[in-house]
Structures are given as structure tokens and as C-alpha cells.
Amino acid sequence: MRPILETEHIHPAIHDKLGGDQTLVNEVKKAIAEHPVVVVGMRQNPVVKAARKLLDEKGVAYEYLEYGSYFSMWRERLAIKMWTGLQTFPQIFVAGTLVGGHSDLKALFDSGDASSLHDALAAQG
């Protein structure tokens, strides 16, 4: 697991500054609750495009949330990275669980161990 600084080691005067703006995190949480597969990404990122292409090729419907590009919204995206602990995009959620990025998704498909993905597909009807 990732280390997180314990609250008792943070001065109370700055507690309300922790975590940044949670607007995008809340949008992602809402999408995860409403859709079996969610891809969180950004413009101009070829790895995000590759993940979406892989899902399209496999016939997997997904909700795509795009937040900025390399030149915009990096602070807002940072809140998502801090929330998940994953430092790159895309961030792919299947049945409410973060499965990782493009290479992790590809590995799930390649290994044949995409049971959570199949469950999400079954939920799509």
C-alpha cells in the first residue's frame, strides 16, 4: 500500500488545505457508481487513446472522462492522482475497482483473467 502521512503529524491549522479541490474526484466517483467501466484521461495522451482503442476493439462500452491536456488542468488532475495513488493516466475502473492503466488493462485481457471486466460487461446487459 502507499504511505500516507498520518493526521497526527499534520498541524491542525492546515487540515482544510489537504486534498485539494475534490470536484473532479467527486465527478469520477459519480461516474464509477453509474457505469460499469470508466476511463479517466486527458487530451493529447497517446496511452489514453490506446486504452480507449483496446476497449473499443474488445467491444467494451465505457464512460470516458477527459480532464485537460498536458497544458491544462494539471492541478485538478493531481487530486485524482492523490485519491487513487496512481500517478499516470488513463485510470481505468471496472465494476467500481481501479484496475490500473492501459498496460494493466492489456495484461488483464492477455492473461484471460478479465473476470471483473466480464462481470461489468454482463451488467451492461
Q: Is the distance from CB of 25 to CB of 93 less than 8 angstroms?
A: no
Give the chain's domain count.
1
As a whole number of Å, the end-to-end CA separation of the chain is 34
Query: What pLDDT was estimated at residue 47?
Result: 98
Query: What pLDDT was estimated at residue 25?
Result: 95
Phi, psi of 105 (to 5 degrees): -65, -45
Q: Is residue 116 part of a domain?
A: yes
Query: What pLDDT was estimated at residue 77?
Result: 93
CATH number (domain holding residue 54):
3.40.30.10
Provide the domain limits for residue 45: 19-124
pLDDT (tens digit per residue) in 38-71:
999 999 999 999 999 999 999 999 999 999 999 9
Q: Is residue 98 part of a domain?
A: yes
Residue 14: pLDDT band with limits 50, 70, 90: confident
